[in-house]
């Protein structure tokens, strides 16, 4: 089997893309913590459910950004192929 330089770069890009989406762990933990505290807050003060929900969703969407950067790197490696 012949492996050319281009094939090697493609394979390594795929591995790199897989490694890049590990970044999703962080936002997952962060969003879980935010949701847990949100649930606790609703339990303490059910009247403020609307405010708590919107604040929680805003925080979660901002926390998601780092994970999306990882996804973006993976997409760039797979589809734009800056190295190949």
In the complex, which residues of this chain contact another protein (CB under 8 A)?
A: 10, 13-14, 54, 57-58, 61-62, 64-65, 68-69, 71-72, 75, 78-81, 84
82 HSE (CA, 13 A, CB side) = 8
CB nearer another protein, residue 32 or residue 69: 69
Location of structure tokens 């649930």: 39
CB nearer another protein, residue 14 or residue 22: 14
Q: How far is the CB of 77 from another protein (least distance, A)?
A: 9
Question: Which pair of tokens denotes residue 75?
Answer: 């997409």
Q: How far is the CB of 38 from another protein (least distance, A)?
A: 14
Q: How far is the CB of 43 from another protein (least distance, A)?
A: 23
Location of structure tokens 């609307």: 50
| Contact present, 56 and 34 (Cβ < 8 Å) | yes
């Amino acid at each position: 089997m012949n492996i050319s330089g281009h094939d090697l770069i493609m394979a390594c890009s795929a591995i790199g893309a897989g490694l890049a989406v590990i970044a999703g762990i962080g936002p997952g933990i962060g969003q879980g913590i935010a949701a847990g505290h949100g649930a606790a807050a609703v339990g303490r003060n059910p009247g403020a459910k609307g405010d708590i929900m919107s604040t929680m969703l805003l925080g979660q969407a901002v926390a998601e950004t780092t994970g999306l950067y990882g996804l973006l790197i993976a997409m760039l490696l797979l589809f734009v192929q800056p190295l190949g």
